[in-house]
Structure 1
Amino acid sequence: MSESEATPWKIGKQLDARGLVCPEPVMLLHRAVREVAAGEVIEMLATDPSTTRDVPKFCQFLGHELVEERREKDEYHYYIRKSE
């Protein structure tokens, strides 16, 4: 992401799950959530299409906020805010 495309929130942790397949991206996200403080945002990059289903369900199930998700070519970008 270029500086001109900067997010309006501060990223607490960046998670690169590109090249990994289910269930590894969500397992890494689960670990990352434990490493940040409540309210911090995790930026996750992935290439596995199953993350479009798994990441929103993960957030819904555990009560975290999926602030934004988008696709850029063959990459998926997720921004997850850890719940209180």
Structure 2
Amino acid sequence: MGQPEHDAELDARGLFCPEPVMLLHNRIVDISVGGVLKVVATDPSTTRDIPRFCQFLNHELVYSAEDDQEFVFFIRRGS
């Protein structure tokens, strides 16, 4: 299965907790409701933090994967 289509991308590689989620929080508001944001990160804590972010703020984690020590997330913005 290939990666989903997305409307925008956030490159959080090289950043450590809490920076990736802080940037995600600021960036997701630029996406229209129903739009998809691709996030690429290298901090392993994002595998815990980003799903929690989505759960608490009613966004949908459409897809996540680990690829060569990079973590990729596709998040559909909720209302």
For the aligned pair, the TM-score class normalised by the smaller chain equals over 0.9
* Residues 3-82 of structure 1: pairs in structure 2 closer than 5 A: 5=2, 7-9=3-5, 11-82=6-77
> Structure 1: which 5+ residue stretches go unaligned?
none
Determine helix, strand or coil for the equivalent of 1:19. Answer: coil
Superposed CA RMSD in Å reads 0.9
Please list the CA deviations of residues 22-71 of structure 1 after superposition, one character each: whole Å capped at 9, or x if unmatched: 00000010011111100000000000000000000000000000000000
Contact 2:4–2:74 under 8 Å retained in 1: no
> Structure 2: which 5+ residue stretches go unaligned?
none
With normalisation by structure 2, the TM-score equals: 0.94
Seq. identity, %: 51
Give me the whole-angstrom Cα distance separating, in 2, the residues matched to 1:54 and 1:40: 20
* Poorly superposed stretches of 4+, deviation over 2 Å: none
